[in-house]
Every structure is written in C-alpha cells, then in structure tokens.
C-alpha cells in the first residue's frame, strides 16, 4: 500500500512538473509525458499501444485549460490590498481556489498514470519508470 501511494504521489509530481512545462519545440510543447516517438523506440511499443498513447495524449490536450484563460494566482495575490477590510476573506478564497486546482491536477495526473499502466506491459512499465526517474534526476539538477 505504501508503494502504491508513493508511486501515485511521484507520478503526480512528475506529471505536474511536466505539465508546468518549459521551453520545448512545438512537437513536444506541453506534453504531460514523454514524446510518443521516444516511448515507441525505448519501450518497444506495438502499433496498438502507440495509438492508444497518442489518443491519451490527445484527450489530455483537449481537457487542458487554455493558458492565459484567467489571471494567474501570483497576479491575483499581488492585486490583494492588505489594508482592505475583506483581505482575509479574499486571501482565503484565493487559497481555496489554489487548493482546488492542485487537487484537480493531482487527480488528473493519477488518472493519466492509471491509463498508462493499463496500456503498458509490466516490463515496459519498469522501463518507463526508469525513464521517469532519469528524467527527474536530470530536471532536479538544473
């Protein structure tokens, strides 16, 4: 049970950091997981598995909120006036909104991980986890 919880938390963290993104080429911009062509090569995916992962990627992309669709949390926090009588209430509302977004992101990452687990074989899943670990170490160095 502890391994399962640790795995889900690790997956959510990795997925969250991947979704936060950085500067990528247009082919890989905003992907929640590794590029499909790399997974096909490294994990030796069948055509069916590759198409299932492409469909999962498309589904994730469709459910992702548009960037710039609202004011960022940092901007909203900066706009709060600490001398305002309703400051505490507005601050609590903003904190609740941030917590709800984090929960939604965590649940989506866990759902994505579950779907990937259903697509990959146990051997492929082992290789995939090794890829994630290597990627995580590389990103944590920077």
pLDDT in tens, the chain (142 residues): 666 566 656 566 676 665 555 444 434 444 456 788 888 888 888 999 999 989 988 888 887 766 665 567 788 888 888 888 888 898 899 899 989 989 998 998 899 889 989 999 999 999 988 888 888 888 777 5
pLDDT at 60: 83
pTM: 0.58
Structure tokens at 98: 């941030």
pLDDT at 121: 92
Domain count, the chain: 1
CA distance 123 to 61: 27
Structural domain boundaries enclosing 109 = 2-141
CA distance 136 to 80: 35
pLDDT at 82: 82
- Classify residue 70 by its DSSP letter: S
């Amino acid at each position: 049970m502890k391994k399962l919880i640790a795995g889900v938390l690790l997956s959510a963290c990795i997925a969250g950091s991947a979704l936060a993104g950085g500067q990528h080429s247009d082919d890989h911009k905003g992907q929640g997981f590794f590029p499909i062509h790399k997974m096909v090569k490294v994990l030796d995916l069948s055509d069916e598995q590759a198409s299932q992962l492409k469909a999962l990627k498309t589904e994730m992309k469709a459910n992702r909120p548009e960037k710039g669709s609202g004011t960022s949390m940092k901007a909203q926090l900066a706009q709060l006036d600490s001398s305002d009588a309703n400051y505490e209430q507005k601050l609590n509302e903003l904190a609740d909104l941030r917590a709800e977004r984090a929960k939604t992101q965590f649940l989506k990452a866990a759902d994505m991980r579950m779907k990937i687990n259903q697509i990959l074989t146990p051997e492929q899943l082992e290789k995939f986890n090794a890829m994630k670990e290597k990627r995580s170490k590389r990103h944590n160095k920077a």
